[in-house]
Amino acid sequence: MRASKLQNTLKYSRYAYDNEGYIIHMLTSNERTFFTNAYIIETKNGLVVVDTMMINSDAIVLCQHIDNLNKPLIAVIITHGHPDHYNGTDTIINGFNEVPVISTKGVRNCIQDSFDAKEVKWKPYFGHDWPEDKILPNHLVKDGDVVNLDGLDYFFRDLGAAESSSDLLFTLGEHKSAVFVGDVVFNNMHGFMNDGNSAQWLRVLQQLLIELADVKQLFTGHGAPGNTYQLVQAQIEYISHYRTCLWALISDNQLLSDTQKQSFEFLMNKHYPQYQLASFIKAGIDPVAQELIVENHPLKMV
Ligand SMILES: [Zn+2]
């Protein structure tokens, strides 16, 4: 599989934390697979991969970057159970001996419960590029666990439902200079609201504003890394705006008509003209509208 001809490339960026003994290599897919980020955390004697891309051809390019670093893969971490973050795991660990795939029980259950439905949705679109074999996390961490990998401490937090039904974050090293949040925060991109947990997602983000106040750099599942406080705050504003704008279009507790949905997409694009992944706007309309209708007076709590 690794020798097959590739048309894909992944955008590459490098962030060195020389004083703390690690380098973060960031790989980003193209728009067809939603500008998804995967990371390789390099320490003196090993590599840890964070998320594994969605399709075979992207995962193979990620493997080539791993191979080029010429160090053993010592673990894979999966941030959450959406296929753009776990689908490539089988390809990534192929050829390495018993690599632990680290995540929480909630993420494992999310993958297990949804991979058939995701395959029905996406395999017709991606064809042979859609991976056949799914690997579930096999090394489960709990909220507050610290795992040392090649001398570097990984501090794990189980956030529960936020962007997905179960989201994980972790900070690195004693200085906690970097945090990886999966899709709990996007940067300059529309959020994926399809799972309909927007109120809970907001509560998690408010908590993170306090909890991550001293963490300098945030690495996200989609978009460039950036200042932790600013990115978390921007995500709060995005979700709040999405909810407010959608609630304004809901009347008589009815889901939006097709015309109203087009208006909503227009308004969101107008408010965030520079944001990418505009296709995500539509994906959240019905689930979030349903959520707002159940909440009844949602704006009071935002
Ligand atoms: Zn994602």
pLDDT at residue 2 is higher than 90: no
Give me ligand 1 centre to Cα 19, in Å.
Answer: 30
Helix-, strand-, coil-residue percentages of the chain, each rounded to 5: 40, 20, 35
Give me ligand 1 centre to Cα 183, in Å.
Answer: 6
pLDDT at residue 1 is higher than 50: no
Give me ligand 1 centre to Cα 82, in Å.
Answer: 6
Tens digits of residue pLDDT in 233-277: 999 999 999 999 999 999 989 999 999 999 999 999 999 999 999
Give me ligand 1 centre to Cα 126, in Å.
Answer: 16
- How many Å is the Cα radius of gyration of the chain? 19
Question: H or E stretch including 285?
Answer: helix 285-295
Tens digits of residue pLDDT in 99-111: 999 999 999 999 9
Number of helical (H) and strand (E) elements in the chain, helices listed first: 9, 13
CB atoms within 10 A of CB 146: 11
Instruction: Give mean pLDDT, residues 221-240.
Output: 98
Whether residue 220 contacts residue 200, with contact meaning beta carbons closer than 8 Å, is answered with no
Rounded-to-integer distance, Cα 5 and Cα 247, Å: 48
Q: CB-based contacts of 205: which residues, under 8 Å, 6+ apart?
A: 162, 184, 185, 232, 235, 236, 239
Tens digits of residue pLDDT in 143-196: 999 999 999 999 999 999 999 999 999 999 999 999 999 999 999 999 999 999
Give me ligand 1 centre to Cα 232, in Å.
Answer: 16
Domains plus CATH for the chain?
Answer: 1-183 (3.60.15.10), 185-209+227-302 (no CATH)
Give me ligand 1 centre to Cα 147, in Å.
Answer: 24
Average pLDDT, the chain: 94
pLDDT-based confidence at residue 297 (cuts at 50, 70, 90): low
Q: Which of 186, 300, 192 is nearest to 247 (CA)?
A: 300
> What is the reported pLDDT for 220?
98
Whether residue 254 contacts residue 161, with contact meaning beta carbons closer than 8 Å, is answered with no
**Residues around ligand 1, an ion, CB closer than 5 A:** 82, 84, 183, 221
Rounded-to-integer distance, Cα 70 and Cα 289, Å: 49
Rounded-to-integer distance, Cα 199 and Cα 212, Å: 20
Tens digits of residue pLDDT in 112-143: 999 899 999 999 999 999 999 889 999 999 99
Tens digits of residue pLDDT in 55-88: 999 999 999 999 999 999 999 999 999 999 999 9
This prediction's pTM: 0.94
